[in-house]
Amino acid sequence: MTADQLFDLAFNLSCGLLLLTAVGTLWRREVSALITILVVQGIALTAIAMLLASRQEDGAEAVWVAAGVGLVKVVIIPLLLLRVQRLVPGARETRPLANVASSLLAAAVLSLLAYAAARPLAQVSTLPTARATPIGLALVLIGFFLAATRQRAVSQIVGVLLVDNGIAAIAFLATDGVPLIVELGVSVDLVLAVLVLQVLTARLVQTFGPTDLDDLRELRD
């Protein structure tokens, strides 16, 4: 097997894993399962970043970006999510607005939509990997769907993370990744956002018992 074939194999496998894990978040409801799925997705994303970095002639910066992405998505954020889970042990999505079957159907429709919408991105980019950008957009759309149809605090955080993973995937596939300083800022913002959500969950649990965001209905007109 030549190096190119190996690259293609690893690349296609990683892209497939991204999409599969996105659908997996709709399929499983236990918080612990969702965290595992996100770790796998983080590994796939890091693998894509590393593979692309290996292709660049001057890839030192790209390797740093990939390592940073791996650290954030595979280590830091799952650890924060585990702390959220410890606050609400045994939590699972009890009352999603869409059941598993219709969620999976929606994921199929969203993926088709992503292929249609991402065409300009795939066509404009000069990179051969840009053909995979629809997968990133599918992640974004499935993330929206998850955040909109789930009630549990953790599920909404997972939705936000899915959107972010999708955008990061698009950035890597269509442009070889955004500049280091921007990626650094984005990662710090993401970690802090999850930290804020964790602290807010802790305060909610501390003051009002287990968080069911469905009960957060005080503020409305």
Sites of contact with another protein (CB under 8 A): 117, 119-121, 123-126, 140, 143-144, 147, 153, 156, 159-160, 163-164, 167, 170-171, 174-176, 178-179, 181-182, 185-186, 188-189, 192-193, 196-197, 199-200, 203-204, 207-208, 213, 216, 218-219, 221
Task: Rank residues 6 and 192 by Cβ distance to another protein and give the closer one.
Answer: 192
CB 68 within 8 A of CB 190: no
Sign of CA dihedral 56, 60, 66, 67: positive
Task: Rank residues 68 and 143 by Cβ distance to another protein and give the closer one.
Answer: 143
Q: In angstroms, give the least distance from the CB of 41 to another protein.
A: 16
Task: Rank residues 4 and 218 by Cβ distance to another protein and give the closer one.
Answer: 218
CA atoms of 108 and 142, how far apart (whole Å): 9
Tell me how far the alpha carbon of residue 16 is from its chain's centroid.
Answer: 14
Q: In angstroms, give the least distance from the CB of 220 to another protein.
A: 9
Q: In angstroms, give the least distance from the CB of 2 to another protein.
A: 28
Helix axes 153-175, 180-208, angle to 10 degrees: 170
Task: Rank residues 85 and 165 by Cβ distance to another protein and give the closer one.
Answer: 165
CB 51 within 8 A of CB 11: yes
* H-helix or E-strand spanning residue 7: helix 3-27
